[in-house]
Structures are given as C-alpha cells and as structure tokens.
Structure 1
Amino acid sequence: MGTTVFERRRPPASVVEHSLAETEQRVFWLDDLSAEATRPRPRLTGERVATLAIVGGGYTGLWTAVLAKRRNPEARVVLLEAKSIGWAASGRNGGFCEASLTHGRENGMSRWPEEMPILERLGLENLDAIGAAESEFGMDFEFERNGALSLAVEPHQVEWLREEAAAASARGDESVRFLDEAAVRAEVDSPTYLAAAWDTRGSAILHPAKLAAELARVAEELGVEIFEHSPVRRIDTPGSTGAVTLVTDGGWVVAQRAVLATNVFPSLLKRNRLMTVPVYDYALMTEPLTAEQLASIGWSNRQGLGDLANQFHYYRLSRDNRVLFGGYDAVYHYGRRVRARYEHRPESFERLASHFFTTFPQLEGLRFTHRWAGAIDTSTRFCAFFGTARDDRVAYAAGFTGLGVAATRFAAEVMLDRLEQRDNERTRLRMVRERPLPFPPEPAAAIGINATRWSLDRADHTEGKRNMLLKTLDALGLGFDS
C-alpha cells in the first residue's frame, strides 16, 4: 500500500510531545461558558402536567421546545435532561453548521434523488433560520457564515473537486468555487493543500455550547420548564387516557404528547434500540494564535476546513483564534455503550497532533490546551431518521451521524409537524417517512463496523480505491466515507 501525506511528512516526535504536554482532558466549549450559562437547574420531583414533554436537553430537544412555544405560546412544555443542558454532543462538537440535511449531496442523491432539490432548498432555509435566530431571540452563539473549504491533500482527490464544482455549476449553483493549489494556499497556507472547493453558501461555524445554553435560556424565557439530572426511566402510554407519562427517579410528567431527543443514548422505544450506534470522535483545541502565527497561515476568511480522505480531518477557528482540529479516528466499542472512559485515548490525540503539524509546520511550538471526545449517533443512512409511536402520541428523531448542528432544528420542525398531524412539504418527504435499516446485534455489529473502518483506511492508502466490502456496502446503500 501507499502512504498518505500525514505519513510522508511526519513532524518530529518532540514537536508532538511538546504540543500535548499541558493539555487538559476537558471540553473547550463547555469551559468557555459563563457562570450564568451553566447555572444548575432543579431535578424533577413530584408530578407535572404538560401539553408537550421533551426528553433530552441537547439541540434536538431545545429546538423542539423553542419552536413548540413559538407555534403555540399557551402550550405547557416540560423538558427533562438526564445530566446537564448541552453536556453531550451538543456541547462538544466541532461547531460546523451545515445546510445539508442528508449528510452531503452524494449521500442524498443515492437515496432520494427526486427529492434533492427540495431537500437542498429546505436545508438552506433551515440554515438561514438558525442565523436569523440570533437577532430574532436576542442570542449570541458566534454564528459566522463563512462557507467551507473541501481540501484535496492527495493528488487523486483534485479531480474529485473539479467534478464537484463543475456539477454544481451545471445545475445552476454558482456558490461552489474550485480553487487550484495557488488559490487555496492564498486562502489558507498549508503545504499539504493541492486544491479545494469552496462552498460559499452552505456552511457556517458557531460556538456549540453557547448555542445550547442560549436555546435553553430562550426556552425558559418563553415559559418552558427545564429539569436537569432527571433521567427518564420509563415511558407509559395507557390506551384509555390518550396521555403519555414519563417516569424519572424523582417524579413524573403526564403530557398530551412527547418528543424523544436522546440521539446517541439508548432509546426509550424498543423499536429503535438497534437503529443507531455510538462512534467516538476526537478533537484538540490550540491556545490562541498570535497575530504572527495567524499571518503565517492566512485564513483571513475564516472558513471551516475539511479534507477529502475517508478518515478525514475537520478544523476551524474560534472567535479568539484558537484552532480546533478533530476527526480522523472514528472508534466503535463493542456493545453500543456510551462510557466516559472511551474519551481517554492518548493514541488518537497524539495522531491528531502529528497530523496538525504536518498540515501547519509553520506553527511548530504551538500548544494544545484542551483535548476531548464524544459519541456520534450513527445510523445506516448517515443522516437523521424520524418517526412516531404509541398511536402518534410520541415523536422521535435520531441518527444525525455527525452532521446534526443544523439538522436538529429541521428535526424539531418535523417532529412537531408529525405530532400535530400536519400534511406539508416536510412530512410528505420520503426522507422523512422512511426508516433506515437497523444495525445488527453484537457481535455482528462490531465485526462489520471495524471491518468497514479498516477498509476505509486501506482506501485512503490506495488512491481512494474501494475494496469489495466497500463496493458491496455502496451497492446496498450502506457505503460511507468515514
């Protein structure tokens, strides 16, 4: 097999060791919140009666709460969170806010080609609405719609980008620009960059934890009751009452309708237990770059960046000019469990640090202040799925597969539409109505997922050539690039 640029141009081990010497295992975004944003909320005790009860205090649940109150200000909405608001994926992701609802055009075209014009328009409208929410609700979550650069770091990837830009132009989309090596290095200067496609419209960056905290604040100002440290143990839907009862350790909520927004965590519905698997993703955050360091790499347009490998890296600047650098390793642990100990993986952080200094050798000497990880709720179609249960009294969405920062808002609209039995453009979509294939039970899940990961790594070392396993998965609609 061949080598990748990250193997051909490894930095000295001493550079990696120095960069990680004072790094803390903490989530930068959560550390960066104010005391008011992290104030504790009460546990649920006793009984609450609600119009709508929501399980989960991440983006999906919080957008649902805010949009439910906007639709019906008189509704009594109660949100139950097992730990604290935004502590999981919503507070620790990379902060990329993508318009795509289908995890990229190619994935969508392989599944719902006739719907892609609608899905792309709805995705852009959804991203517009997220940006507008800052002024609409008086929020600040550091939203910057600077677009994103898809980067070729191996010669065979350059033609992929030419084709992407040409295809966009052919369908009348002039928002995607091809950049040759000189043009991309004029934007962001890395010796690894050979070309790029700049999507100027469909991507933004934001502060993940501030988005969650601000949504929670707005929800409470609209009258939503939020309870933390109140894990829901059971959901009851007695047929005679038409109600939904959510039972916690300290109390219960009786509601007309309920939304399950638990994503990567085990579903309260048996039908969804095999629909997602948790895949762990890892990230580093640097100290703030000095003016000289920033000048050495350019990046004045502050785009989000991601390379085209199957095992890809994503990176972006924070408001104070730190660089978040994440991705590459995507690790599944046998048994579908979400465990704090899986976040501690020194070899992943060392690999990321090495790849960072391959990308930006001019930043040698820079230190990382934070390292962290989180679990991605992965589905076999690589984007969210939706549904209802218990005589349409309960709605759910899950399976965002690492591209949910924007899509969670769309999911909230879909779930509210379904609970209100609305017949509209969203609810008529096949993408909304169809469920993906479940993952198999163990040990088949672990064998299949880890064989796929090995195959993706092999493809990265053979100019993108996919082996028989990947080709078979592609044919079954189960293929993916990371």
Structure 2
Amino acid sequence: MAPAAMTPVSSLSDARPVSFWLDDPGKPAPQPALTGDEHCDLLVVGGGYSGLWTALLAKERDPQREVVLIEGNEVGWAASGRNGGFCAASLTHGFANGLARWPGELEKLEELGARNLDAIEAAVARYGIDCDFERTGEIDVATKPHQVEELREMQREAEELGFGGSEFLDRDAVRAEVDSPTFLGGLYDRRGVAMLHPAKLAWGLKAACLGLGVRVYEHTRGLDLAPSGAGMAVRTPYGRVFARRVALGTNIFPSLVKRVRPYTVPVYDYALMTQPLSDEQLAAVGWKNRQGLGDSANQFHYFRITPDHRILWGGYDAIYPYGGRLSADLDHRPETYLKLAEHFFHCFPQLEGLKFSHAWGGAIDTCSRFSAFFGTAHRGKVAYAAGFTGLGVGATRFGADVMLDLLAGERTERTELEMVRSKPMPFPPEPLAWTGITVTKWSLARADENGGRRNLWLKAMDRLGLGFDS
C-alpha cells in the first residue's frame, strides 16, 4: 500500500509549542531579581525592545546617569521574542496609514523612520549584536486582481507626493523573486525593511545595556507607581525602586498609569516555523534574496526565510479575547495553527511534505490608529510609549527617544510632531469593544472576498479614524 499523502494537519505533528526564536540553547541566563530597595536617576519598566532601547539610549546620552531596568519575566520573552523579525523604517504602520492620519508631517515621519532604521543597523554593528540583521527589504504581494490595482495606485500616489523607493513587480517579476502560483504582482521596498532574529536582538540589547552599566533585574514585576519626594517609587515583589524619572515600556501589559489602559487592547497573533528546506525545496521556491513578504489582504499573512532556510508563516487569524484578557492559555490555538498550515500549502503547493518545527502565539498591543502613541504623567516625571500594533521591532527605538525627550522636558523634532502630541481614540468598555472588533473582523473578511469593497461599517470606521486593516 502506498504511503498516505502529507496533509496540513499531519505537517503539525512535530511542531513544538514554543517560539522558534526563544527555543535557543544560546539563550542568556536571566539576571537576578531585585531584593531590597534601589535608587537611580531613571527607572525603565519592561524588558522588551521598548525598555531596552530606552535604557541603552539613556546611557548613550549621559553615561553618568544611573539607570535601572526591571522586567517581570525575562528579557525578550513576550512580543520581542515572538514576532516575525521584520524591522521596518515606517513609524506609521505603512505609508497609507501615515498619509491618512498625518499628511502634513508625513515627509518628516518618513525621514525620521529612515534615520531610525539606520541607527538600529549602526547599533547592531557597534555593539556586536549577532542577530542576523539583513537589509533585505519587503515585498507586498497581491493574490487577487483588485490587490494588483491597489498596489499600483499606492505606488502612483507615493511617487506623486515625492515618496519613491518602491518598485512595482508584475506577476512574472514577483514570481522570479519568490515563486508561488498565488502571486499576481508585488510592491518591493528594497531598503525600508530589515530581517533579523528578534530574540537575539533583545538579548544583544540586554548585553549592551549591561556593558554600559545599566542595572538589570529580571523576574521583577513593577506592581504600582506612586510619587515619592521629588521623584517616583515603583513597588516590586521584594523591594522598591526610587527614581527621579520613570519610563514605561510595558506595552500590552496593564500600564502603571491607569488612564493609559483604555488606549490598547491585546490581539493574539500566531505563527508557524518550518523545518529547514532541502536544496530541492529551496530551488522550487526560488527565494534567493531573503526578503520579507506580506500579502495585501485585510486579513494578511506575513512570511520570511531564515538563514538556515526555514520559512516563518504567520498572521491572518488575529484573535481578540473578550475583556482584553491576557492569559498564557491564549498563546496557543490549534485551530489557528491548522488554518495557517492549510494557507501555507495553498501558497506553496510545491512544498508538500514539509513539516513545521514550531508553533506559537502571543499578544500584540493594538491601538485604534495602528501606530504608537506617547505621553507623560505625574507632572512629567513618568513617560510612556505604547500601541505599536505589530510594528515595534523598529519603531520602539524611536519611541524610546521620544520618552527620553519628554522626560527631559525638551522640545525636539520628535516632540513637536502631531503624531507624538496626539492620542488615538480609546476603546470602549465591554461588551462594546468585543462587539465592535468582532464586526470589524467579519467586515474585513467580507471585503477580501468582495474585491476590496468596504461595507458601511468599515466606511464608518474610516470616517472615525479607525480604519483597521487587519
């Protein structure tokens, strides 16, 4: 009897339920927890990219500044160690979102974003961070005819406004880059996105911080925040930290400034990683230039290839839990893994028989304008940045600079931006939030099936500045 053909479900039989990036024997040991009291000039709460960049840049600005960073679990364990490794220059979640929200300052935002990505590349080199940083670019691919026209229109609009840099690829050209029978066209941004190993970036930033004298405490959760004399105090399980200034990089986790909490909701995102492709499989796909890719649907997939020739395949099935509940139980969703596997083999039928080695998920800090927001509290002694909405690998460094500017009370080209001075619309209480997000997700799926036509609900969301695209 002939062996049974491989099916999407059987491709998941060996998938480990852990982030591929974090499943690394070279993972550094955690720093000890804080026991007792600490005193410092700047306390950074959160050991993901946002907090790590803030601590690092604070020491670069003033090497004498005493900086303490506390992390409730281990550095890089959450979104910073579970994302796809796309490090984009865009600070606005793409050109279209920036144009819709801040047309008058988009030129400045694009310039700042490009400089920010250059600075990340320079920091990776300066500190010797071995995180597989590659300036490969990204292709937005069209898989339906209406998406081809949308990409052409996006390129035309950008060029008319003086923003070049993206190259339109027809069906043959895009399939010459990466071969899928589903690809009908693409828009290739060759310089605006880098690929990297996200966990190694976090671990490398931690090492750089320690090397500059930042005192890092892991397994040290910030429990509450209160004024203390001329500064602030943060209580932890085994002590307190007294600081002149505090920067909050907690993102999806409940902010120690409670009024900030309604501005973000957790949306769970999931990803698969394949086993390494054989030489024959690699030739069948033809993925030579190592770009990141994302399809152009409202409910989209993002995918990239690693240095050891694995393919990461994620996205599409974004899940909002009722009440914004954060739970480790939501980090895995077998029905989503199966859906992703089915979509993967639809995209790459020539890879039938390939199996997945890892499957994982995690929460994205989502805000209603799809790009970060910033602010201060306690008379300027506390600053925060949050709401990166899945684009934090690069933009968190910019957010760190904004927080440090705000804490210094400085007027800079960053703090003068409307993007920095304004806030997104907060999410309503339940059950309105769950109902609205559920209806929006259903409407986006309908638009994908109806040539991109947005229904009355989505048009109303657009008018309110809540034009979700995933």
TM category, shorter:
over 0.9
SS of corresponding position for 1:245 = strand
Q: Shift in Å at residue 14 of structure 1?
A: 4.5
CA-to-partner distance for each residue in 1:313-335, whole Å, 9 max, x for gaps?
00001111100000000000111
For residues 227-266 of structure 1, the aligned pairs below 5 Å read: 227-238=217-228, 241-266=229-254
SS of corresponding position for 2:92 = coil
What percent of counterpart residues are identical? 57
User: Are 2:50 and 1:78 aligned?
Assistant: no
CA-to-partner distance for each residue in 1:206-250, whole Å, 9 max, x for gaps?
100000000000000000011111111110114xx2111010010
For residues 317-356 of structure 1, the aligned pairs below 5 Å read: 317-356=305-344
Q: 2:157 aligns with which of 158, 162, 167?
A: 167
Q: Shift in Å at residue 188 of structure 1?
A: 0.6
* Matching residue's letter, 1:450: T
Q: 2:35 aligns with which of 45, 67, 82?
A: 45
Structure 1 stretches lacking a partner, 5+ long:
1-11
Structure 2 stretches lacking a partner, 5+ long:
none
CA-to-partner distance for each residue in 1:39-77, whole Å, 9 max, x for gaps?
021111111110000110000000000000000000110
CA-to-partner distance for each residue in 1:262-297, whole Å, 9 max, x for gaps?
000111112112110000000000001111111111
SS of corresponding position for 2:339 = helix
Residue of structure 2 equivalent to 1:147: 137
For residues 241-320 of structure 1, the aligned pairs below 5 Å read: 241-320=229-308
CA distance in 2, matches of 1:32, 1:120: 35
CA-to-partner distance for each residue in 1:164-202, whole Å, 9 max, x for gaps?
222333334442101100111111110000000101121
* Matching residue's letter, 2:19: V
Residue of structure 1 equivalent to 2:108: 118
CA distance in 2, matches of 1:237, 1:132: 37
TM-score by length of 1: 0.95
CA distance in 2, matches of 1:459, 1:62: 39
Residue of structure 2 equivalent to 1:428: 416
Residue of structure 1 equivalent to 2:371: 383
Residues 18 and 365 in structure 1, CA contact (< 8 A), matched pair in contact too: no
Runs of 4+ in 1 over 3 A off after TM superposition: 171-174
TM-score by length of 2: 0.98
CA distance in 2, matches of 1:214, 1:179: 36
User: Are 2:194 and 1:204 aligned?
Assistant: yes
SS of corresponding position for 2:22 = helix
* Matching residue's letter, 2:426: P
Which piece of structure 1 moves more, 128-137 or 469-478?
128-137
Residue of structure 2 equivalent to 1:23: 15
Residues 33 and 209 in structure 1, CA contact (< 8 A), matched pair in contact too: no
CA distance in 1, matches of 2:395, 2:271: 21
Residues 178 and 197 in structure 1, CA contact (< 8 A), matched pair in contact too: yes
Residue of structure 2 equivalent to 1:473: 461
* Matching residue's letter, 2:119: A
* Matching residue's letter, 1:423: R
CA-to-partner distance for each residue in 1:111-135, whole Å, 9 max, x for gaps?
1110000000000000011111122
* Matching residue's letter, 2:85: G
Residues 6 and 353 in structure 2, CA contact (< 8 A), matched pair in contact too: no
Residue of structure 1 equivalent to 2:389: 401
Residues 6 and 352 in structure 2, CA contact (< 8 A), matched pair in contact too: no
Give me the CA root mean square deviation: 1.1
CA distance in 2, matches of 1:121, 1:33: 39
